[in-house]
Structure 1
Amino acid sequence: MDTLNFGRAVLTWLQGGVTHLDGGAMFGVVPKPLWSKKYPVNDNNQIELRTDPILIQLDGKKLLIDTGIGKGKLSEKQKRNFGALEESTIHDSLHALGLTALDIDYVLMTHLHFDHACGLTEWQNGELQPVFPKATIIVNEIEWQEMKDPNIRSANTYWEENWRPIEQDVKTFQDQVEVVPGVEMIHTGGHSNGHSIIRMEMDNDILLHMADIMPTHAHQHKLWVLAYDDYPVTSVHAKEKWMEYGYHKQAWYTFYHDAHFRALRFNEEGEPINKIERNTSS
């Protein structure tokens, strides 16, 4: 498994599954001749998108960023439509690290779309149960309310089976919250109304997890936002703010969806100066 040492923290990418979605939808109004130079595309105009949770081990605490697409949560039709060629094996990933799902203290949900939230619950003896029964699940209040009461459009991605079994474990926040010292969640909106990013600071070094306002390295340009975004202009402004901030701080940027890079670090001009490529043999 791929790792990044960041100050006192160790980040490890777990195996959360994969989807293959339409490249045009993932890059919105950006013409294909432009985005296809940045990110590989198959003959069906689909791009590979990992759904790999990031485990943060810090000061004895274990935090997880998002949860993958789960196992046994998608119908065969959904697997075809979403290009889900691989389901989550997160239990195996944790076991390889000498851990179990019971060891997770916090689950940081950047948002609750199915490809991030299906891994919150699993089938046990014919019933859906929490995957991380001892964890506190942190999510923005706006996102949580929309999850429970989706509109006609968002009902396609906010599923009751992903929230009903874990509602007693959820803790919401408004603008931002420090989950543990050095790790905070910040509401941005954009991709969804309650979308959040994660900021880590260790010894004046900065790490940003931009979630789905920058789902892959190819989305670095502030105007390259998704057709899936509910509020694309909000995404643009949020990305502009946090890219400028991160460039100035020479921050690391980590990815949940990127099939090629786990993390990149940029200088003040926005040029990559460090990288962690995904180990495709893992």
Structure 2
Amino acid sequence: METLQIGDVSLTWLSGGVTYLDGGAMFGVVPKGLWSKKYPVNEKNQIELPTDPILIRMNGKNILVESGLGKGKLTEKQLRNYGVTKESQLEESLEQIGLTPENIDFVLMTHLHFDHACGLTKLVDGKYVSTFPNAQIITSQIEWDEMQSPNIRSRNTYWLENWEAVEAQVVPFAEKWELEAIMMIHTGGHSDGHSILMIEDGGETCIHMADLMATHAHQNVLWVMAYDDYPMTSIAAKQKWIPFGLKKNAWFTFYHDAFYRAVKWDSDGKQLVASIKREQ
């Protein structure tokens, strides 16, 4: 398992599943001739996109960022349509480091699309129950409201089976949520309630842009997904937070990147100066 240390805060990537989605959708209006040079595509025009949660350990607390694809929840049609080649092995990952889902204190959800939220619940005797029964689930109020009452577009990704069993655990916030070295900040863009995550400790900074910068190839502020509900808001958020991170010499971390867990760019954002590669 790959790890990153930010001061006294440790980050460990877990195994949450693997999807393959259409590259054109993932890069929006960017021509394939440009994005495919940075992120390879298969014969179906799909790109590999893991869904790997990050375990944060800080002062005795176990904090999960996102929840993975879950296991046994997707139909055969969904598995095919979303190009799923591996479902979640989150519980096995936790077991390897001596933890269980019951040990998770917080689950930080940047947003609640199915590929981030399916792991929040699991089927037990034909009924959905909480995967992390002792955790507070943190997400923005806007995101939580839309999860419960999706519109004609978002109902395809906000699913009842991913929230009904954990409703009592959800702690929504307005614009910002903080816990010691961690801050969640509402940005909108990819979804109306989308948030990013920042960790600052011991003079080190880490920024998790979530689906505003799903992979290292999305660093260009104009390279946003066709999946983004509010692309101009995504662009504005990237214009704000990417330069902020570059100025801080921050690590940028990923949930979806098939090649890197975390990267650092130079102060101009033109060259990679450090990286943690994903184990294949």
**Coarse TM-score class (shorter-chain normalised):** over 0.9
Question: Which deviates the most, 106-115 or 203-212?
Answer: 203-212
Q: Which residue pairs with 2:204 in the alignment?
A: 205
Q: Give the drift of 1:6.
A: 1.5
Verify the 8 A CA contact 2:139 2:171 in the aligned structure 1: yes
Verify the 8 A CA contact 1:101 1:132 in the aligned structure 2: yes
Q: Does 1:168 align with 2:175?
A: no
Q: Which residue pairs with 1:129 in the alignment?
A: 129
Cα deviations across residues 92-131 of structure 1 (Å, max 9, x unaligned)?
0000000000110000000000000000000111110000
Structure 1 counterpart of 2:279, one-letter code: N
- TM-score, normalised via structure 1 length: 0.98
Verify the 8 A CA contact 1:207 1:253 in the aligned structure 2: yes
How many angstroms apart in 2 are the aligned matches of 1:278 and 1:154? 31
How many angstroms apart in 1 are the aligned matches of 2:8 and 2:261? 19
Q: Give the drift of 1:132.
A: 0.2
Q: Which residue pairs with 1:182 in the alignment?
A: 181
Q: Does 1:80 align with 2:53?
A: no
Structure 2 SS opposite 1:36: helix
Structure 1 SS opposite 2:221: coil
How many angstroms apart in 2 are the aligned matches of 1:182 and 1:267? 24
Cα deviations across residues 220-258 of structure 1 (Å, max 9, x unaligned)?
100000000000000000011001100100100000000
Q: Does 1:215 align with 2:222?
A: no
How many angstroms apart in 2 are the aligned matches of 1:267 and 1:188? 24
Verify the 8 A CA contact 2:185 2:196 in the aligned structure 1: yes
Q: Which residue pairs with 2:257 in the alignment?
A: 258
Q: Which residue pairs with 1:57 in the alignment?
A: 57
Verify the 8 A CA contact 2:254 2:261 in the aligned structure 1: yes
How many angstroms apart in 2 are the aligned matches of 1:235 and 1:269? 20
Question: Which deviates the most, 129-138 or 261-270?
Answer: 261-270
Matches within 5 A, 1:18-29: 18-29=18-29
Q: Give the drift of 1:267.
A: 2.4
How many angstroms apart in 2 are the aligned matches of 1:16 and 1:203? 29
Structure 1 counterpart of 2:121, one-letter code: T
Cα deviations across residues 26-67 of structure 1 (Å, max 9, x unaligned)?
000000000000001000000000000000011110100000
Q: Which residue pairs with 1:157 in the alignment?
A: 157
How many angstroms apart in 2 are the aligned matches of 1:20 and 1:131? 25
Structure 2 counterpart of 1:264, one-letter code: V
How many angstroms apart in 1 are the aligned matches of 2:203 and 2:177? 19
Verify the 8 A CA contact 1:248 1:267 in the aligned structure 2: no
Structure 1 SS opposite 2:197: strand
Identity %: 58
How many angstroms apart in 1 are the aligned matches of 2:202 and 2:186? 24
Verify the 8 A CA contact 1:73 1:118 in the aligned structure 2: yes
Verify the 8 A CA contact 2:64 2:106 in the aligned structure 1: yes
Cα deviations across residues 174-232 of structure 1 (Å, max 9, x unaligned)?
11110x20001000000000000000001232100000000000001000000000000
Q: Which residue pairs with 1:192 in the alignment?
A: 191
Structure 1 counterpart of 2:53, one-letter code: P
Structure 2 SS opposite 1:238: helix
- TM-score, normalised via structure 2 length: 0.99
Structure 2 counterpart of 1:275, one-letter code: S
Q: Which residue pairs with 1:13 in the alignment?
A: 13
Q: Which residue pairs with 1:244 in the alignment?
A: 243
Verify the 8 A CA contact 1:26 1:225 in the aligned structure 2: yes
Structure 1 SS opposite 2:38: coil
How many angstroms apart in 1 are the aligned matches of 2:73 and 2:262? 28
How many angstroms apart in 2 are the aligned matches of 1:211 and 1:265? 16
Structure 2 counterpart of 1:30, one-letter code: V
How many angstroms apart in 2 are the aligned matches of 1:97 and 1:9? 16
Q: Would you say how many aligned residue pairs link Structure 1 and Structure 2?
A: 279
Structure 2 SS opposite 1:194: coil
Structure 2 counterpart of 1:94, one-letter code: L
Q: Which residue pairs with 2:39 in the alignment?
A: 39
Q: Give the drift of 1:9.
A: 1.1
How many angstroms apart in 1 are the aligned matches of 2:204 and 2:89? 32
